Amino acid sequence: MPDLKVYGPAPLARITDQLFGEGGIYDADLVARTSHGCSLSIYQARRGELPRRRPNPCVTELTLGDVIKESKWSVETGNARHFQPYLVTFAFRLRYAGCTFIYSGDSGPLAEMEEFARGADVLVHMCHYMSGTELSADFADSCMGHLELANLASRAGVKNLVLTHITEQFDEPGAREHVIGQIANIFKGNLFFGEDCMEIPITPPVLNKLM
């Protein structure tokens, strides 16, 4: 199989080398797994072919506005706001088969996100706290509240909004129902609380009759 292609902001290349390069954190383990007879026999039993190569990810460091294109899809980097100037943070826009998927990463309110997510089929966005309970001005600048996110999604005209990076606030009895009601007053698309392995329908769901 070809080496894994990895894309992201700096210092991704340095981190990857420090993990998987010669003398890196996993160097001894990788040498053992690609050299010791026991590891090699297990590898062959799992239909691997010798020699067993150590991982060598193909790393590309991205900057704001970069576009990565393959035959059927493209990914574009957009701005996000979280702990600047200490960290570089991006949002990502994936286009495939006429559909657009936006992932915010960790981000607070940002006017640029509205245009970046314009008309998206799916927007997956950080919703870290219930608006009005922010810990400080810096907190509200770096993380997104539910009302701020509802307004962003409404102005951008996205079809499906997925809330992620939520906190224990949303697990209190009745909290999610309260949040859903308030967001629905602003945003008229489909609303989801993100979960592992969730599938988001691009087209409206078909409601079957009760049996």
| Local structure of residue 166 (DSSP, 8 states) | -
Span 40-92, pLDDT tens digits: 999 999 999 999 999 999 999 999 999 999 889 999 999 999 998 998 899 99
d(CA 198, CA 164): 12
Q: How far apart are CA 94 and CA 105, in angstroms?
A: 13
Return the domain boundaries, the chain: 5-59, 63-193
What is the rounded CA–CA span in Å between residue 90 and residue 107?
9
As a CATH number, domain 63-193 is 3.60.15.10
Distance CA 58, CA 60 (A): 7
H-run or E-run covering 151: helix 146-156
pTM of the full structure: 0.87
